[in-house]
Amino acid sequence: MSVTLNINGTRREFDGDPDTPLLWVIREDVGLTGTKYGCGIAQCGACTVHVDGQTLRSCSAPVSAVANRQVTTIEGLTSRAAKAVQKAWVDLDVVQCGYCQSGQIMSATALLEKKSKPSDTDIDHAMAGNICRCATYQRIRAAIHAASAQLAG
């Protein structure tokens, strides 16, 4: 049984096992490799995508769970909040090794799309599931505030 997907606005059919992790489909079948494999057990956040505007750990969701829903990967981010986040990330030079950063950006964007002026606590709660082995947490928090200021300006 095939699964109908909508990834970054493009309709796709997946004919494999419907229990396959969404992450595998995004990376191996669709070929979008911006979404990263980190832990495989929803502990690190590197595989974060948006489904209908909410964050989802794609390593821990069967592809069947997103049938006929809107999946957005790091390659498909186009919202005003997303552009503000991307600019803030560059301006503050947030990235060190970069492996976790697509997941960080997906979570930061989801936060700002729902709450454009988040407090430090809001940021900590939203970003707690995204681990950065380079410990860029302070720059991530500063960049989210900077993106928030852009959105207000």
Partner 1 sequence: MSFSVKARVMFIVLAGTARSLAGAEDLRGPETFVSITNQSERSRALFVEAGRVLQHPRCLNCHPVGERPTQGNDRHPHSPFVVRGLDDKGAIGLRCTTCHQDANYAPSGVPGHPQWHVAPKSMAWQTKSLGQICEQIKDPRRNGGKTLPAIHEHMAHDSLVGWAWMPGGNREPAPGTQAQLGALLGAWIESGAACPAS
- Shortest spacing between CB 96 and partner 1, in angstroms: 20
Which residue type, as a one-letter code, is found at position 75? E
Token pair 């995204």: residue:
130
48 binds partner 1 (CB under 8 A): yes
Beta strand 3-7 with 70-72 is parallel
Residues 62 to 101 in contact with partner 1, rule: CB under 8 A? 62, 65
Q: With binding defined as CB under 8 A, does residue 117 bind partner 1?
A: no
Could you give the C-alpha distances from 79 to 21, 39, 153, in angstroms and in order? 26, 28, 16
Task: Extract the tokens encoding 72.
Answer: 């957005």
Residue ranges that bind partner 1, judged by CB under 8 A: 16-17, 19-21, 24, 28, 40-43, 45, 48, 54-57, 59-62, 65, 107-108, 110-111, 114-115, 118, 122, 125-129, 131
